[in-house]
Structure 1
Amino acid sequence: MLKFLLLDESERDNRLKSTVDDESVRIECQLERAYWNQNGTFSLQNILFHARPGDLICIIGPVGSGKSSLLQTLTGEITYFDGKVRLNGSFCYVPQESWIFSSTIKNNILFGKEYDNQLFRRVIHAAALDTDCDQLPDGIQTMVGDQGVMLSGGQKARVNMARALYREADIYLLDDPLSAVDTKVSKYLFERCIRDYLRDKICVLVTHQIQFLQDATKIIMLDNGEMVHTGTYSELLTCSPLFSQMLHNINQQECTNDSKKIQTAATFSRMASSGSTDETEESLLTDHIEMHEKGSVKWHVYLDYIRASSGVFIGIALLLIAFGIREFLSIFATWWLAEWSEDENHRHIQYANCTDTKDKKMNAIKLMNETEWNNHHNRKFYFYCITVFILTILTLLRTITLQSLCLNASRMLHNRMFQRLIRCPIAFFDLNPIGRILNRFTKDIALIDEQLPNTIFDFMHQWE
């Protein structure tokens, strides 16, 4: 940590400070050299170009020639560089690898911005997402899962593109967004998104799609990190044999990639033919939605809880015994206290009225001498105290029994949930966010541990 804090400050923000110097939107790049680290062998060299609103700059070159590094230099990600890079205006960077977070399609496109219905509809139409949203079960509210597992690679790329369009930036830096879609969709995206929707913006496009180069305002050819040629399509085709050779190489590479994609698609098609893929895909789109039961609680839920506590018969028997005996003793103690109070009342009547009565019990109490009455009084008192003591013990045992049954049920249900969770397929964790799974454990188990025992106690107390 100390070594990191003592490193020299990065000055990559210098290239972005110029955005406030001038109100006109433009890109000026006079890059002499740029490299990721001082000990690295690869670097960008001698790249000069400028762009105004309405310009479409296409960057081409073989794999590893530095196309993506050039865009990251414009965004300020490359730490070390010599020269001058100026971006006047807000910019939006679309990476080659689509980034999707676990939420709805709508939230992935908005990305924190306020929802504008008209703008949103224009964006998803330009990104060719309107048809996909109509086919999804919840439309734009469909959950895409962690890292967009519910979406195909082409759909991820189009969501990524729609997010960029919704930002309404001045400058768009597109790192080969057309490579993840097929030929028909790539043509649609280029015509509707890049050439039409972004016609008044500055657009810097890294691409291997040579059929779109004729619409570019300027083409930049990179080879091994160096700009070898720049100009329009017709200029390069006339003056640069290297451009023609590069087009041929890119075309051959694309043909090879297309053949591999066709073979891979055929392989997966044969693998999927053994099962009902349509039903599986539909279930994947719908099963990830969290469901909530409505209406009255089913009887099997109560039985499952009692069975988890100690078994149906044992659990019911223990509850009945614990509450039944305690309630019986409570009634008996009340009755005994009433009898004792009545005897005391009869004894006092003896001194107030000495006439005989037909009540044998009252006459027996009147005929007792003082010693016999004291013994009778003490028996009543001690027996009542013993009854109250036993009642207290039974109340404590009843509470312990109920809490033990609830604790055992909670432990069994938690273990059962955990055992089933660790045996779930990987697709379950892709479709259900980790936060939702943790919420079920924490919230549901908290209800079982804290609220349910009190509810059961109150329910049993109503029958006392």
Structure 2
Amino acid sequence: VFDMLRININSTFRCIPSLVQTNVALERISDFLYNTELIDEYSKPEHPENAEILNASVPEEHKDTIGIRHASFTWAADSASAAVTPGGTRRRTFVLGIDDEVFFHRGKINLIVGPTGAGKTSLLMALLGEMHYIPQGPDSFVNLPRDGGVAYAAQESWVQNDTIKCALKRDLELFDAGDLTEVGEKGLTLSGGQKARITLARAVYSSAEIVLLDDILAALDVHTARHIVEKCLKGDLIDGRTVILVTHNVAMVSPVADFLVDIGSDGRILSQGSLSAALSKDSKLLKEVEEEQQVLEKVEQEIDPSAETEKAAEAQQRTGKLTVAEEIQEGHVGWDAVKLFLANVSQRPLLFWVVYISGCTAKFLFPNIQIWYLGVWAAQYEIHPANEVDVGHYLTVYTALVGAGTVFSAFCVYYYVFGSIRASTIIHQKLVVSILGTTLRWLDKTPTARIIARCTEDIQTLDNRFPRALEGLVDIIVYLLLKMFGVVVFSPVFIFPALLVAAGGAICGNIYMKAQLCVKREMSNAKAPVLGH
């Protein structure tokens, strides 16, 4: 009975760490779900009764219209008032305001122009629903039809580590492996202009009816930008599609533009319509266009280089493979890997393991002694009358045995936990030093996701799973050896079936390990890309 009670109490305390970890995980998920700022489509308004009045649906006659009427937009839901900085000073909060209405022409090329910081990109984000919508009246609405698809080319190019498959012949000729060349993480082997052209090509090659382009010409030289305007914006791929282009190159793009929206530095619409109408109302824009026109006339007299003189980086090989495939070890886990943990639990690892195994032996020995002593105590009632048995003596001895077992159990846990923490800390320090001390070329060839996986998932294994598994292995081995020794002492013939069972267990364990190691290694490699995203 006492042994069964001990096992149940032990199991209960083993569940406590898992319950604590579960509670922490649930709190983090709850915080993420309920305290994360959401876009308007998925957030609940603070005053639903007012929202029902102001958030009128798009009128039927404007279902296919691209534009905004009587609305303001902010980047933060609480940014309608100026925020206070930690130093106590107040900063201006940007608000994109559409006092009247702005509608873009379908099937045409529309320009959005204005000074830096005026809110040109914000207007695109407002159409996409990435800014908080503040209606100004019952007739307010914002509409971007998505039935035919929407393609968006951001100002900061988003490039994955992959190969390029498009008609950028001049760019592909710079690479040894052509269109089989990997561009590296975030396009590290590409120049800023090449990234911009890839982002543009991805949007243009899409089947979307509406194409939003955010300052795609900013990272290009004048010759390349003119080539893009002549061959792309005037080409067949754009013909008939709705293009909304944010740009500072007004003079260069204006010949292909059908509609223009001019935004002032305060985030308000200054004018919309033709270029001449905008120039008549915005003297700063007129000056910029005149200066740009002079630059274009000067550049036209220069010879367009046949190829770029600068390469972003060399391809690694003719195969174009930049990222090195992660190696997968075969066979059992090597002794060097296990030794890395076992040898760092203490400055004297051999003494540490001798003391720990001795403590485990004592920890499991005392329960066996307790059971034996209970038998001795019970036998006294068969030899002597009940009133002659000294209950106080036997109870004191049994309590002392239980206390001694508890002390050894606590010592083993304390001793092993601090040893495992020391080992995982040292391994983590070595890992960080090796990463920070490596060459930049190694960082180019190694995906960031793989480094993240090593520093998070694998370190978590060293901090938690491996020490627990090793502790369980030592406990089971010591426990079985003591049990088998006790049985063999009283029944020596049991040694033969015990050896037979041990041999069968070793064979089954070897078969299991061969299959499990391969699966574990493949899972570890497959987790790296997932953690990276």
Q: Does 1:216 align with 2:257?
A: yes
Match of 2:145 among 71, 89, 93: 89
Alignment of 1:304-343 (within 5 A): 304-310=340-346, 311-315=348-352
Q: Which consecutive residues of structure 2, in runs of 5 or more, have no partner in the other structure?
A: 1-34, 36-44, 75-79, 83-91, 298-310, 317-321, 366-401, 486-533
Residue equivalent to 2:134: 79
Alignment of 1:288-367 (within 5 A): 292-310=328-346, 311-315=348-352
Q: Does 1:174 align with 2:210?
A: no
Secondary structure in 1 matching 2:218? coil
Residue equivalent to 2:458: 440
Match of 2:112 among 59, 62, 86: 59
Is the alpha carbon distance of 1:163 and 1:459 closer, same or farther for their aligned partners in structure 2, counting shifts above 3 Å?
farther
Aligned 8 A contact 2:113 2:247 in 1: yes
Residues 155-209 of structure 1, C-alpha deviation per residue, up to 9 Å, x if partnerless?
A: 6656655665687433223221332445566556554478443333211111122
Residues 405-424 of structure 1, C-alpha deviation per residue, up to 9 Å, x if partnerless?
A: 75454212222144456766
Tell me which amino acid in the other structure corresponds to 2:134. Answer: T
Match of 1:431 among 421, 438, 448: 448
Alignment of 1:195-274 (within 5 A): 195-209=235-249, 210-224=251-265, 225-228=268-271, 230-231=273-274, 245-250=287-292
Give the total of aligned pairs. Answer: 352
Residue equivalent to 1:373: none
Aligned 8 A contact 1:59 1:220 in 2: yes
Residue equivalent to 2:472: 454
Is the alpha carbon distance of 1:401 and 1:237 closer, same or farther for their aligned partners in structure 2, counting shifts above 3 Å?
closer
Match of 2:424 among 407, 411, 414: 414
Taking the aligned partners of 1:10 and 1:425, their CA distance within structure 2 comes to 52
Superposed CA RMSD:
6.2
Higher RCO, 1 vs 2 (CA within 8 Å, ≥6 residues apart): 1
Aligned 8 A contact 2:68 2:142 in 1: yes
Tell me which amino acid in the other structure corresponds to 1:416. Answer: I
Is the alpha carbon distance of 1:137 and 1:164 closer, same or farther for their aligned partners in structure 2, counting shifts above 3 Å?
closer
Taking the aligned partners of 1:161 and 1:215, their CA distance within structure 2 comes to 17
Tell me which amino acid in the other structure corresponds to 1:52. Answer: R
Secondary structure in 2 matching 1:314? helix
Aligned 8 A contact 1:126 1:192 in 2: no
Residues 50-75 of structure 1, C-alpha deviation per residue, up to 9 Å, x if partnerless?
A: 4122x111223333455334434544
Alignment of 1:122-137 (within 5 A): 125=166, 131=172
Secondary structure in 1 matching 2:333? coil
Taking the aligned partners of 1:219 and 1:396, their CA distance within structure 2 comes to 82
Q: Which consecutive residues of structure 1, in runs of 5 or more, have no partner in the other structure?
A: 107-119, 256-268, 280-284, 330-391
Percent sequence identity is 18
Taking the aligned partners of 2:464 and 2:112, their CA distance within structure 1 comes to 57
Is the alpha carbon distance of 1:238 and 1:9 closer, same or farther for their aligned partners in structure 2, counting shifts above 3 Å?
closer
Residue equivalent to 1:68: 121
Rg: which structure is higher? 1
Secondary structure in 1 matching 2:273? strand
Aligned 8 A contact 1:61 1:222 in 2: yes
Secondary structure in 1 matching 2:344? helix
